[in-house]
């Protein structure tokens, strides 16, 4: 079976694709390759994502098209905009904003490599500000009846100079008023997936809030307190069955700078039952801003 890592792309350098010319490869995902390209019409560098037809399945094609359609109708400063979508003899493609910076997972990895233990955790004020902006973008997407379903640090790009987060990869998106993409397939990333996603139950915006709560937890502790699962199946089973969740300790037990109020915020976000989570992104944001006001500023003062 063909693999994305085995796809040769040297012949694509300099090739005209849509209104852009491919310059160099930027990275690879599970099904797509991303290039830096130059858009002649607006004289700017952009990111160009291609899905080789040699890897094409009906599901992969649908996901690619779904991502383009979802992102194209969303206009928000914290969501990467799509510029163009098309098809060539070799691949499907979409062009989008080129973000100068790293994704959030790289920020987390860089922090974990610090020699001084206290620096192995992202600053709390930075983490909360990033999460608030992500939640604002998700709240907007949810208002358009779109659920992302794969929120994780690797899908949050951080602009180098402004530190503005931008959500990417709407390939597992669900249109609330439409059909669930993938039918019986489980779409998402296991650690961040809400229990109802794993059990293939009805999914709404609260599944994204679960993922954000897990991501926030990861940002503010040195290492997530989870068991060493021997397989993906055991993680899935634990998430489906254990209403207490997969985390063995509370955030404040792992980071002395955290107030117990942060435990309550994260626990509510990652509650097993969606009815026990925040009802909306706005409600989650209000809790974080209250923490900033009553806990973070007092500590800084």
pLDDT at 199 over 90: no
pLDDT at 130 over 80: yes
- Alpha carbon distance 149, 203 (integer Å): 8
* Terminal Cα-to-Cα distance of the chain (whole angstroms): 59
pLDDT greater than 80 at residue 27: yes
**pLDDT tens digits, one per residue of 61-103:** 777 777 677 777 889 999 998 888 888 888 888 899 999 999 9
% of the chain exceeding 70 in pLDDT? 90
How much is the pLDDT for 92? 86
pLDDT value of residue 177: 40
- How confident is the prediction for the chain on average, in pLDDT? 86
pLDDT at 180: 37
Chain CA centroid to CA 48, Å: 19
Residue-level pLDDT at 88: 87
Domains of the chain: 4-97 (3.30.200.20), 101-300 (1.10.510.10)
Angle of the 205-220 helix axis to the 281-291 helix axis, nearest 10: 30
Cα separation, 88 vs 83, whole angstroms: 17
The whole-number pLDDT of residue 299 equals 61
Q: Indicate whether 147 pLDDT > 60.
A: yes
The model's pLDDT over 164-192, given as tens digits with 9 standing for 90+, comes to: 999 988 755 554 443 333 444 445 678 89
Q: What is the pLDDT of residue 160?
A: 94
User: For residues 284 and 173, which has the higher predicted lDDT (pLDDT)?
Assistant: 284
Q: Which residue has the higher pLDDT, 159 or 170?
A: 159
User: How remote is the C-alpha of 82 from its chain's centroid?
Assistant: 16
Task: Work out the pLDDT band at 291, boundaries 50, 70, 90.
Answer: very high
The answer to whether the CB of 120 falls within 8 A of the CB of 68 is: no
Rg value, the chain, Cα: 20
Highest mean pLDDT (candidates 162-171, 228-237, 273-282): 273-282
pLDDT confidence of residue 182: 40
- Measure the CA–CA gap between 161 and 140, rounded to whole angstroms: 24
What's residue 54's pLDDT?
82
pLDDT at 288: 97
Q: Rounded to the nearest 10 degrees, how much is the dihedral formed by the CA atoms of 142, 148, 152, 157?
A: -80
């Amino acid at each position: 079976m063909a693999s994305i890592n085995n796809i040769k792309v040297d012949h694509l350098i300099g090739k005209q694709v849509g209104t852009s010319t491919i310059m160099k490869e930027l990275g690879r995902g599970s099904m797509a390759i991303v290039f830096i390209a130059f858009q002649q019409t607006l004289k700017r560098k952009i990111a160009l994502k291609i899905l080789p037809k040699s890897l094409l399945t009906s599901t992969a094609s649908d996901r690619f098209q779904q991502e383009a359609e979802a992102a194209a109708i969303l206009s928000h400063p914290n969501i990467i905009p799509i510029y163009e979508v098309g098809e060539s003899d070799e691949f499907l493609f979409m062009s989008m904003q080129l973000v100068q910076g790293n994704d959030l997972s790289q920020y987390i990895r860089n922090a974990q490599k610090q020699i001084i233990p206290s620096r192995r955790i992202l600053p709390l004020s930075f983490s909360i500000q990033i999460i608030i902006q992500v939640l604002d973008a998700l709240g907007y997407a949810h208002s358009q009846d779109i659920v992302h379903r794969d929120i994780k640090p690797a899908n949050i790009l951080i602009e180098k100079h402004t530190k503005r987060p931008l959500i990417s990869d709407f390939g597992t998106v669900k249109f609330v008023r439409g059909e669930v993409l993938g039918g019986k397939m489980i779409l998402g990333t296991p650690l961040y997936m809400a229990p109802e996603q794993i059990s293939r139950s009805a999914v709404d915006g609260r599944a994204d809030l679960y993922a954000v709560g897990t991501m926030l937890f990861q940002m503010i502790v040195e290492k997530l307190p989870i068991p060493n699962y021997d397989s993906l199946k055991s993680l899935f089973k634990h998430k489906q069955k254990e209403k207490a969740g997969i985390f063995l300790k509370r955030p404040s037990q792992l980071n002395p700078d955290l107030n117990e109020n942060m435990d309550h915020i994260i626990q509510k976000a990652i509650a097993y039952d969606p009815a026990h989570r925040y009802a909306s992104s706005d409600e989650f944001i209000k809790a974080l801003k209250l923490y900033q006001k009553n806990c973070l500023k007092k500590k800084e003062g």
